[in-house]
Amino acid sequence: MRLRALDSIRGLLLLQMTLDHFGKPISSYLFQCFGFFSAAEGFFFLSGFVGMFAAMSKREKDPSASWMRARAFRIWKYHIISLASLVCSSILFLPALVPYFRGILQHPHTGSFLSALLIHTPTWLDVLPLYVILMLIGSFFFPRLARGSVYKIWLLSFLVWILAQFGIRENIHALFPKWINHGFFDLLGWQFIYFSGAAIAAWWKHHQKAKTTPLRFVQSISYVAIFITIFLFLWSHQWISIPLPSEFWISREHLGPLRYLNFIAFALSICFIVRTRPSLLDFQFSATLGKHSLEVYTAHTILIYIWLIVPKYVHLHMPWNIIFPLFACFLLWLLAFILDVQKQKHKIL
């Protein structure tokens, strides 16, 4: 059964990411507004969480999780089509985009090949490749999570995340030419947020199936999570007179330890609300966006590139730098609404 509250949350995350990526002045208020984390963590956590629910519901018909590989291939196609369209546009009629794709334009054969392998990912085009890789890895581990190997797989993911905190990624990148852009997010670190979402979903479903749901334990954890969330929110906004933590603890690139703790506490707080009062997070407009997250995120990337090349007197001055981001959000909702209508018509036919 599809939970509309989860679609709604995903839609809100997409809107926040869009407004963050359009920059100031809106991003000054939205970026990391809940603590030492951003909307990106929520996007990957929710992907793992919802993906695990889907894997468990499809386990009997598709025990090898081939649907995840099919989904990964679909996302890869969206990414490649977006990349090819933007590169061609930079060559033909949008020369202002050239700096963002210089690696491919200067090394067309190698750049295209490495882009297809998701090794080279130009700026703003690194999230979908990361999602593709995580889904491919997940197609191997999710069936095992569904069979009950929750703690083993979570521990393995945890150990990989620990390695990420000590610069393993940089050593791997040193093997490639310097012009290659590997994307901002460290796969070794960010896989942990994805598999944490999947592990929590699997743990919950296993207890539900065994009819041993530990409600008192879950409630206790939820109250602790709410307390941690409030404390770190106040700290991140310097409403508590404690020096801010160093970059190691809140690293966005490697998913630092305090950043992970802050997000997980926040996510568990949201899970508590969804479990007890799902109507509080059920918004039709954002649920429509969430149901078509792949198309919406892809379109958002195109809009961001368009925004980057508009004249500076528009880009940097009010009211345009408020009107345009809000109009972009409306366009994304309109796209999702049209896709939703088409989907409903297809069901009727």
139-143, 147-151, 265-269: least confident range: 147-151
- Percent pLDDT > 90 in the chain is 76
Q: What is the pLDDT of residue 2?
A: 66
Q: Does residue 348 lie within any of the structural domains?
A: no
Better-predicted residue by pLDDT, 207 or 143: 143
Confidence class of residue 278 from pLDDT cuts 50, 70 and 90? Answer: confident
DSSP string, 67-83: HHHHHHHHHHHHHHHHH
Residue 223: domain span: 32-276
For residues 276 and 57, the answer to whether their CB atoms sit within 8 Å is: no
Q: If you compute the radius of gyration of the chain from its CA atoms, what whole number of angstroms results?
A: 21
Question: pLDDT tens across 314-349, in order?
Answer: 877 889 999 999 999 999 999 999 999 998 877 766
Q: What is the largest CA-CA distance in the chain?
A: 62
- DSSP label at 31? T
Q: Does residue 18 lie within any of the structural domains?
A: no
Mutual angle of helices 187-209 and 257-276, in 10-degree steps: 30
- What is the mean predicted confidence (pLDDT) over 220-238? 95
For residues 281 and 273, the answer to whether their CB atoms sit within 8 Å is: yes
How far apart are the C-alpha atoms of 72 and 51, rounded to whole Å? 12
- What is the mean predicted confidence (pLDDT) over 167-185? 91
Q: Is the pLDDT of residue 10 over 90?
A: yes
How far apart are the C-alpha atoms of 258 and 265, rounded to whole Å? 10
Mutual angle of helices 127-146 and 150-164, in 10-degree steps: 150
Q: Is the pLDDT of residue 211 over 60?
A: yes
Q: Does residue 312 lie within any of the structural domains?
A: no
- What is the mean predicted confidence (pLDDT) over 196-216? 84
DSSP H helical ranges for 238-319: 247-250, 257-276, 284-291, 293-308, 312-315
Mutual angle of helices 215-236 and 257-276, in 10-degree steps: 130
Q: Does residue 157 lie within any of the structural domains?
A: yes
15, containing H or E segment:
helix 4-21
Q: What is the pLDDT of residue 279?
A: 85
Confidence class of residue 1 from pLDDT cuts 50, 70 and 90? Answer: low
Q: Does residue 174 lie within any of the structural domains?
A: yes
How far apart are the C-alpha atoms of 160 and 164, rounded to whole Å? 6
- What is the mean predicted confidence (pLDDT) over 129-150? 94
Q: What is the pLDDT of residue 245?
A: 96
Q: What is the pLDDT of residue 295?
A: 95
Q: Does residue 342 lie within any of the structural domains?
A: no
pTM: 0.94
Q: Is the pLDDT of residue 6 over 80?
A: yes
Q: What is the pLDDT of residue 148?
A: 87
Q: Is the pLDDT of residue 88 over 80?
A: yes
- DSSP label at 184? S
- What is the mean predicted confidence (pLDDT) over 69-88? 97
Q: Is the pLDDT of residue 21 over 80?
A: yes
Q: Does residue 3 lie within any of the structural domains?
A: no
7-11, 241-245, 272-276, 323-327: least confident range: 272-276
Q: Does residue 164 lie within any of the structural domains?
A: yes
- What is the mean predicted confidence (pLDDT) over 87-114? 95
CA distances from 254 to 94, 188, 204 (A): 34, 8, 27
Q: What is the pLDDT of residue 4?
A: 82
Which pair of tokens denotes residue 92? 């033909």
For residues 221 and 127, the answer to whether their CB atoms sit within 8 Å is: no
Q: Is the pLDDT of residue 155 over 80?
A: yes
Better-predicted residue by pLDDT, 302 or 216: 302
How far apart are the C-alpha atoms of 234 and 222, rounded to whole Å? 18
Q: How many domains does the chain contain in total?
A: 1
CA distances from 277 to 18, 140, 238, 271, 274 (A): 27, 34, 31, 10, 5
Q: Is the pLDDT of residue 145 over 70?
A: yes
